[in-house]
Amino acid sequence: MSEDATRTLGKGSQPPGPVPEGLIRIYSMRFCPYSHRTRLVLKAKDIRHEVVNINLRNKPEWYYTKHPFGHIPVLETSQCQLIYESVIACEYLDDAYPGRKLFPYDPYERARQKMLLELFCKVPDLTKECLVALRCGRECTDLKAALRQEFGNLEEILEYQNTTFFGGTCISMIDYLLWPWFERLDVYGILDCVSHTPALRLWISAMKWDPTVCALLMDKSIFQGFLNLYFQNNPNAFDFGLC
Amino acid sequence: MLEESARSLGKGSTPLGLVPEGLICICSMRFCPFAERTRLVLKAEGIRHEVIYTNLKDKPEWFFKKNPFSLMPVLENSQGQLIYESAITCEYLDEAYSGKKLLPDDPYEKACQKMVFELFSKVPSLVGSFLRTQNKEDGAGLKEALCKEFSKLEEVLINKKTTFFGGNSVSMIDYLIWPSFERLEAMKLNECVDHTPELKLWMAAMREDPTVSALLTVVKDWQGFTEVYLQPGGL
């Protein structure tokens, strides 16, 4: 069973107690791409952690003490320190925990990964807008064209570098930061947006072979079930697929 | 140390040659607030550098080759590596050069500085929009939005009980956000800090910092620049 297969906490729930020594807690939601980034890093670095899933349509009052606007993901340490924004959380984990480093050591290579992340920055909103348009029966030709354009930029990088992954020959932080949106292309119904980007398609295949990505890969039918309930405004959407 | 050379390169200029060993080159525009961040860090860390000014509205063709976003600033080192996006350039300089560190070593303290930077993130575009706004109603709305953003920063200082955003001495986060505050007076936006006393104290403390005061642009120079910049076909 996946580590994050727990029911969400909503309004009226009791706040969880302090984080036990030796653990870090992530406030999350099983289907959120931003949380997914941070869960990938937790897994890749083998960091002992506990997951508290939040009902995003019915947030607990106590959750606003963790994040002023109730966003996820948020990390909480056993010293009650809170870290948020997914990229900041990922970088914190890489800095704070020993073992496998996901960001390169070289300052220029680190800067390069951050510049690549900037290049990617329009993708999350565009994929979400496509999903919403499709689900609401609206046409989204322009949105898909814009998304193809963004993917074209990423394709150029891979072609220029002539490497499998965005950071080089091995998987690294930038690949994990981008991955969640590519995992969702199929279930969102926009897989054709990579039809013109062969290097990107190769990268997607290579990512699916990565043990960390594999361990967290979401079952397509469960994701579909979540999306169906979510777009029906069903507050139980976030717990879909749990026993 | 070669610095603040008055070279301003526009269309038709020849591309930069190779950057000499031991030097880093920053491609900048004199009044650009984003480039100022990087120049503050270069100054604070005592990094030998050369400044090449480019014309903002009339960028030389080679500039687009050097930087896909055609934004400023761009750093180029003697290995021909290019770094852009002001916050990325600042972090790169802090990591690549030994000597004074502006970002904390502690992972949590470093994360806190980045969270404050996120909190600040709407300010530059609000200030930019105010600069370009033509009518009074829009201007009033922008001022109100700016006050709201400043309140968030005020809260951080109140909770931390320190003079600066990173503690009791100046650090990276202060330099990253300073350029927007430096311009408030010239843009007649000083009233936006009227209800944020801690932020006002921070601004006064920043003006005392040797690095900040070395790069301070005199108000009338900045006003002169904006008048020309906002004219149709200006600069």
- In a shared domain, residues A66 and A135: no
Name the domain count of chain A: 2
Per-residue pLDDT at B71 exceeds 90: no
Span A162-211, pLDDT tens digits: 999 999 999 999 999 999 999 999 999 999 999 999 999 999 999 999 99
CB-based contact B115 A85, cutoff 8 Å: yes
Report pTM. Answer: 0.91
In a domain, A14, yes or no: no
Cβ-Cβ contacts under 8 Å, A107 against chain B: 92, 95-96
In a domain, A127, yes or no: yes
d(CA A162, CA B217): 45
Cβ-Cβ contacts under 8 Å, A111 against chain B: 83, 88-89, 91-92
Residue B195 backbone phi and psi in degrees, to 5:
-100, 15
Is the CB of residue A203 less than 8 Å away from at least one CB of chain B? no
E strand or H helix at B49: strand B49-54
- In a shared domain, residues A87 and A140: no
Q: Is it true that the peptide bond before A18 is cis, omega within 30 degrees of 0? A: no
Q: Is the ipTM of this complex over 0.85?
A: yes
What does the angle CA A38 – CA A44 – CA A47 come to, to the nearest 5 degrees? 75
- In a shared domain, residues A74 and A154: no
Please give the residue range of the domain that contains residue A92. 24-102+220-239
Which CATH number does the domain housing residue A194 bear?
1.20.1050.10
The CA distance from B74 to the nearest CA of chain A, in Å, is 12
- In a shared domain, residues A83 and A173: no
- In a shared domain, residues A124 and A157: yes
Q: Who among A96, A110, A115 is closest to B107 (CB)?
A: A96
d(CA B178, CA B207): 10
- In a shared domain, residues A90 and A63: yes
Instruction: Kindly indicate the confidence band of residue B14, based on its pLDDT and cuts at 50, 70 and 90.
Output: very low
Is the CB of residue A50 less than 8 Å away from at least one CB of chain B? no
d(CA A21, CA A23): 6
Instruction: Specify the higher pLDDT residue, B139 or B61.
Output: B139
